[in-house]
Amino acid sequence: MMTVVGIDISAQSFDLVSRRDGRNAKAQRFEQSPQGHARAISHLKGLKPECIVMEATGVYYLDLAVALHEADLPVCVINPRSFRHFAEIHLTGTKTDAIDAALLAEYGERMTPRRWTPPPKHCLGLRDIGRQINRLIHARTQAKNRLHALSAKTSTPELLIEDEQDGIAQLDRRIERLKQAALELIAQSETLSSHFEHISTARGMGQASSVAVLAELCTLPSDLKAAQVSRHAGLDVRLTQSGSSVNSPGRLSKAGNAYLRAALYMPAMVAIRHEPRAKAFYEALVARGKKKIQALCAVMRKYLTGLWACIKTRTPFDAAALFSDQHLNKA
């Protein structure tokens, strides 16, 4: 009989449940540490599972998944959205780490997910740097907003103004240092350098945006299709239509990589102003009654398709292949 293992991961620990012949063993808990990983690997090698299923949640799954892969264990990393739908079917009222681990084991038994292959270490390093840059940029934006609000008041003490300005300057230095580290890491890889050069040709893709986008895309499996990458970024449209009473307008799923969506926002903003084809496409959508944010997200999705094509085909960004001439001719 096939043995399948489910692992539910949290920041400090992870729960492991093995399943064989339709029956679950008692859940076991291990520390989220190199020592805990080693003990779990020893336990799993004794079980000889056909697959080990875990969710791609946050950052905590990655070190364990890499450790299992390096131990030649059949780890399968699944989309959390897919597992959530699977769990909903069971109508389980109680939610604990052990129950989730058991459900993950059953998922592996019924759905037979494909085996996971980790990204190269330099790609993982670039992704970590890119995400830290993203977080610092977000913090800088918040600081600038606070400075604007403080400056608008005549009663604000000068000390508070100077404090916010010092904080912004420090964030600028940290962002620049990390950006240079990312560029050095990219320069050490011929593949990453090629990808970086090609995606940088897109209008609106400056150094910071190109680093942020490449940091997320370089860790994805190369065989993904453009629609799958859009779903990964949460830029796919979710429709709610059922019978004659439920017919909600389509909305972005946002059930995906928030870092990638954030990295695409400013390039899309630049594109609808300075890229003629993207601008014509955006204006055509607005003229059809779409909200401006909906039209902007459509441009983000188009841009993501083009950037993924740059990586898959190793060619420069081509706006003509993404946006129809009919919008440009009517502009």
56-64 long-range contacts (CB < 8 A, ≥24 apart) are 56/80, 57/9, 58/11, 60/9, 60/10, 60/11, 60/32, 61/9, 62/124, 63/37, 64/7, 64/9, 64/14, 64/32, 64/37, 64/40
* pLDDT value of position 7: 96
pLDDT at 45 over 90: yes
The residue with greater pLDDT, 132 or 232, is 132
Is 257 strand, coil or helix?
A: coil
Q: What is the pLDDT of residues 185-244, one digit of tens each?
A: 999 999 999 999 999 999 999 999 999 999 999 988 887 889 888 888 888 765 444 445
Contact assessment for residue 219 and residue 123, using Cβ atoms and an 8 Å cutoff: yes
Q: What is the pLDDT of residues 83-97, one digit of tens each?
A: 888 888 876 666 788
* pLDDT value of position 245: 46
The residue with greater pLDDT, 62 or 297, is 297
Q: What angle do CA 163, 169, 171 make, to 5 degrees?
A: 105
Q: What is the pLDDT of residues 250-284, one digit of tens each?
A: 566 566 788 899 999 999 999 999 999 999 999 99
Contact assessment for residue 286 and residue 298, using Cβ atoms and an 8 Å cutoff: no
| Residue for token pair 């706006």 | 319
Q: How far apart are CA 320 and CA 297, in angstroms?
A: 19
H or E segment to which residue 89 belongs: helix 80-89
Within 10 Å of residue 198's Cβ, how many Cβ atoms? Answer: 22
Q: How far apart are CA 42 and CA 186, in angstroms?
A: 36
The mean per-residue pLDDT over the stretch 2-18 comes to 93
Q: What is the pTM of this model?
A: 0.74
| Residue for token pair 């697959």 | 51
Q: How far apart are CA 195 and CA 217, in angstroms?
A: 10
